[in-house]
Amino acid sequence: MRYSVIIPVFNSKDTLLDVAERIFYVFDTLQENVDIIVVEDGSSDESWQQIHILKQKYSERLTAIRLSKNFGQHQAIYCGLHYAKGEYHITIDDDGQNPPEEIPKLIQAIAVSKVEEKPELVYGVYAQKQHHFFRNWSSKVVQIVFRSIFKNEGQVTAFRCIHHKLTQKIINQQHNNIYLDGLLHWHTNKVAYTLVNHEKRQAGQSGYSALKLIKLATNLIFNFTTLPLRFLVFFGAISSVISFLLGLYYIIRRFIWDDAPMGFTPLMVSIFFLASALMFGLGVIAEYLRRIYSNQNNEPAYSIDTIL
């Protein structure tokens, strides 16, 4: 059987060679065919030079792609999936925190399944994450949001094994703001999980800054739900009811107790009613704009500069 391994690369000059060498060693030990697709995602260090070294050594077994700028990990993997030729496609980080020696566990999770129940997607789930506190906390938030949207029970991670048929489903459609796990779960519920080790980073720093994690979370929320718009409409409806009740209250005070300041009642009623009506109207318009934007926006998810 043939496997393709996609490695998104961002500022990993000190770890990439070791990770790639270990991947080839693992598959040589398993006596399975493998090709590696390395996608350099706008690094600011010498990662591309390290990729050149790998390409010279494994010219027939490695495809090197350089994007024109930094698009993000999910976009880089999405790019690499277009060049994957194996029956199963494995995604793994470039920093060595996902040990390549754990890849057989992903393969085994598929092999032990019954034919009619074979998973199309397997995640390597970490018994204990070795990220720093902020990364662990933000990942938990993203996991909670993801579970609430897709109703899945397990964790999603960057260490995955994807059947080529599932890959074809997601690359045959036009996408721009990519959240890979959301696309995968859109097309299948045949998902399995297996426990894997997660090691401490040996060099460099995580490419996920606070801003990138926020962007990732917003891609998840806005690409796969209309929850913000529904909340906006709901808020507008609730505020309309509240404004009506407040307006009624001030009208009663004006005509029964006559203790409201002159001009205060119509001013308050007008402000509350107009604000809530505008909020509700903006929510409805935004829903239409969202649908039009989704259909008309053909901005590519990535742009390739060089392929080796």
Count of Cβ atoms closer than 10 Å to residue 63 Cβ: 21
- The DSSP string of 189-224 is --EEEEEE--PPP-SS--S--HHHHHHHHHHHHHHH
pTM: 0.76
Sign, Cα dihedral of 208, 210, 211, 214:
positive
Q: Does domain 2-225 have CATH number 3.90.550.10?
A: yes
H helices, E strands: number in the chain: 10, 8
Q: How far apart are the first and last CA of the chain?
A: 24
β-bridge mates for residue 196, sequence order:
126
pLDDT value of position 200: 77
Q: Are 124 and 156 in contact (CB under 8 A)?
A: no
**pLDDT, tens digit only, all 308 positions of the chain:** 899 999 999 989 989 999 999 999 999 999 999 999 999 999 989 999 999 999 999 988 999 999 999 888 889 999 999 999 999 999 999 988 899 999 999 999 988 876 677 899 999 988 766 555 555 566 666 667 767 777 777 788 889 999 999 999 998 877 777 888 888 988 998 999 999 988 876 665 655 555 666 666 676 676 767 677 777 777 777 777 777 777 777 777 767 766 655 666 667 666 767 777 777 777 767 766 766 666 666 667 788 999 98
Provide the 3-class DSSP secondary structure of residue 5: strand
What residues contact 155, with CB distance under 8 A and at least 6 apart? 123, 125, 126, 143, 193
Rg (CA), the chain: 25
β-pairing, 160-163 vs 121-126, is antiparallel
